[in-house]
Structure 1
Amino acid sequence: MAVYSLGGTIAMTTDPATGGVVPALSAHDLLAAVPGLDRHGIDLRVHDFRRVPGASLTFDDLTELGAAIDKTLDGGDVDGVVITQGTDTIEETAFFLDLHHDHDQPVIVTGAMRNPTMASPDGPANLYAAVIAAADPQLRGAGVLVVLNDEIHAARHVRKSHTTSPAAFTSPGAGPVGRVAEDRVRLASPPPTRVAPLAPAARDARVGLYTVSLDDDGTLLEAWDGRCDGLVVAAFGVGHVPQRLVENLERLAGRIPVVLASRIGNGPVLTETYGFPGSEKDLIGRGLIPAGDLGPYQARLLLQTLLAQDADHETITSKFSAFAR
């Protein structure tokens, strides 16, 4: 079993200079705080990869991490991988890694909502459950998963839905695929069917994220013009925007890929129900690409990955349609 630590709350201790907590603990420190792991006879290969807050992780960090994991798994003698990191970006990093993961061995991402200086920190329990999950043959072929609070979530569905609760991670509309109890994985449903892994980036690509809001006049939307290679629009409801944004979006979609997602983050963008100006059917007819069931954050990551491979409009549309349940 390989364990990669990236920092985050799970690895934080008090900084005397500021009085706040900062990433300081190594992967060895984290594992030393987990009781009972040694009785399972799991050989742990530890990699102290980064020590940063989750909010400071970058595409470059994740690309390097993915390459390191591939090299480890290519050897064939590792049953799974565990990643510890900050929870701020777990839903994004898990999805990003899952887009590229091309091995049968599962990759489990975990972290903590309570840092080690607090009463009843959840990091040791989450790390324990993550190791158990990564070693379980039931999860072979499941790709990248998130394990916190003894729940197992697919990278495609998981969301951070609370700022402080240990039960912050949920999978709206799908639920967890399983749980860890009595030192074994208990699946509630099969993990979702995975799309074919995507190739590494061939170039840099910048993708913007624009969230539509009440009485939006489109001024800030215009600021994206010429400043990004692609844009995700987090629209109202099932994919609606104010009528005054329609012409700007059509003009943008004629120059760059524009993906239509929902700012709700739970449920699909529709394609053929509403017909008024600014409706999902109207916008798709003007060249916007529906995001399927992907929330805006996942849609941004998929679009960025595709643009970094120089994918054309047809390929991008096809890849997003694969994520419609």
Structure 2
Amino acid sequence: MNDQPRTPQVAYFALGGTIASVPPAPGEPAQPGLSAAQIAAGIPGLEDIAVVKAEDLMKVSSARLSLSHVLQLRDAALAAVEAGATGVVVSQGTDSLEETSYALDVLWDRPEPVVFTGAMRNPSLLSPDGAANLMAAVRTAADEQARDQGVLVVLNDEVHAARYVSKTHTSNVATFQSPAAGRIGWLIEDRVHFALRVERVPALKVASDADIPPVALVTMTLGDDGRILRALPVLAYQGVVLAAMGGGHVALEWVDPLRGLADKVPVVLASRTGAGEILSKTYGYPGSEVALLGAGLIRAGALDPLKARVRLSLALAAGVPAAEAFGATGTTTGPVTG
């Protein structure tokens, strides 16, 4: 009888980005050029962690990615785990990673972990970080502790929950942070350590060929009179996320246009601050969170505006009412626990 533990099988899907980018000629700007197999082959010792099956799903800059691409990725990841993969690793450009990883988290209902990673320094630069990040991501995806935690993001030897993580700096290797909850784990030497666990939220069921309705993201700024709000229905937006000030506040001039907009399409109330939950009953002046919720807006809970837009877009694509998708009290972000 063979008592040896089974070697983890990890599916690795590469989408492009800095981790795959090299200058086509010396002195020229980098662009995606390396394949998934080339990236994986350049990491000594990767085969000691898991059997890694590398595949190029697409090769684009992260700004070109869309929710339709995420549906394609969801299907590929699902096929991989159904074929026996222990977990899935995805590498892509970091510019949209906080949105794509959360989108897949909204769609993913399997126990096998999906781990997103990338790089801030391309392989032609001094001290590139892509190889270390991919090694850490594979190690996390192969670790039993990562099961039933949904989609994770691993860079700079830190593990973050996709629903909380944000890119906070344009170029620093420590750019990915989770202001609302903090990192849930880290890597030290050859070990993955989880300090917290993420409580899963039921996934949204979106067809592979679903049309993704257009959803606008509008930010309240000092002195803005809100005239853009009246143009959104004309532009055929089917939903709106409002990045309001503070705990969910706007200027008085915004209230009536928002009320009229909420009569036509779902409008989700988020905060532009980047951390903390939208309030529900603290302030009662015109333009406060109480006034906006009374006008029909839906609380985003602790979701930041980028993630609220992702969730609203996928809810509309799934045919799920926005109020249901965000929960009666806007708490579908789900907690982390010790």
Normalised TM-score (structure 2): 0.92
Cα shift readout 1:25-84 (whole Å, capped 9, x = no counterpart): 0001111221221333x1111111111111111122111111111111112x21100000
The equivalent of 1:223 in structure 2 is 231
Q: 2:300 aligns with which of 281, 291, 316?
A: 291
Percent identity reads 45
Deviation at 1:106, TM superposition (A): 0.3
Does the alignment pair 1:260 with 2:269? yes
Q: 1:151 aligns with which of 158, 179, 193?
A: 158
Deviation at 1:317, TM superposition (A): 4.5
The equivalent of 1:137 in structure 2 is 144
How far apart are the structure 1 equivalents of 2:152 and 2:199?
13
Alignment of 1:147-296 (within 5 A): 147-190=154-197, 192-201=198-207, 202-226=210-234, 227-296=236-305
How far apart are the structure 2 equivalents of 1:111 and 1:311?
32
Deviation at 1:276, TM superposition (A): 0.5
Deviation at 1:218, TM superposition (A): 1.1
How far apart are the structure 2 equivalents of 1:168 and 1:139?
22
| Counterpart contact for 2:199–2:334, Cα < 8 Å | no
More displaced stretch, 252-261 vs 43-52: 43-52
Any gaps of 5 or more consecutive residues in structure 1?
none
**Secondary structure in 1 matching 2:96:** helix
| Counterpart contact for 2:156–2:174, Cα < 8 Å | yes
Deviation at 1:136, TM superposition (A): 0.3
How far apart are the structure 1 equivalents of 2:170 and 2:51?
34
The equivalent of 1:98 in structure 2 is 105
| Counterpart contact for 1:268–1:324, Cα < 8 Å | no
**Secondary structure in 1 matching 2:58:** strand
Query: What root-mean-square deviation, in Å, do the aligned CA atoms of Structure 1 and Structure 2 show?
Result: 1.5
How far apart are the structure 2 equivalents of 1:44 and 1:204?
32
**Secondary structure in 2 matching 1:64:** helix
What one-letter code is carried by the residue in structure 2 that aligns with 1:151?
E
Deviation at 1:117, TM superposition (A): 0.7
More displaced stretch, 289-298 vs 44-53: 44-53
Any gaps of 5 or more consecutive residues in structure 2?
1-9
Deviation at 1:173, TM superposition (A): 2.3
The equivalent of 2:51 in structure 1 is 43
Deviation at 1:254, TM superposition (A): 0.6
Deviation at 1:184, TM superposition (A): 1.4
The equivalent of 2:124 in structure 1 is 117
The equivalent of 1:4 in structure 2 is 13
How far apart are the structure 1 equivalents of 2:334 and 2:12?
33
Q: 1:300 aligns with which of 300, 304, 309?
A: 309
| Counterpart contact for 1:209–1:232, Cα < 8 Å | yes
**Secondary structure in 1 matching 2:204:** coil
| Counterpart contact for 1:207–1:304, Cα < 8 Å | yes
The equivalent of 2:333 in structure 1 is 323
What one-letter code is carried by the residue in structure 1 that aligns with 2:33?
A
| Counterpart contact for 2:212–2:314, Cα < 8 Å | no
Cα shift readout 1:198-222 (whole Å, capped 9, x = no counterpart): 1014443111000110001112222
Q: 1:67 aligns with which of 64, 67, 75?
A: 75
| Counterpart contact for 1:292–1:324, Cα < 8 Å | no
Does the alignment pair 1:107 with 2:114? yes
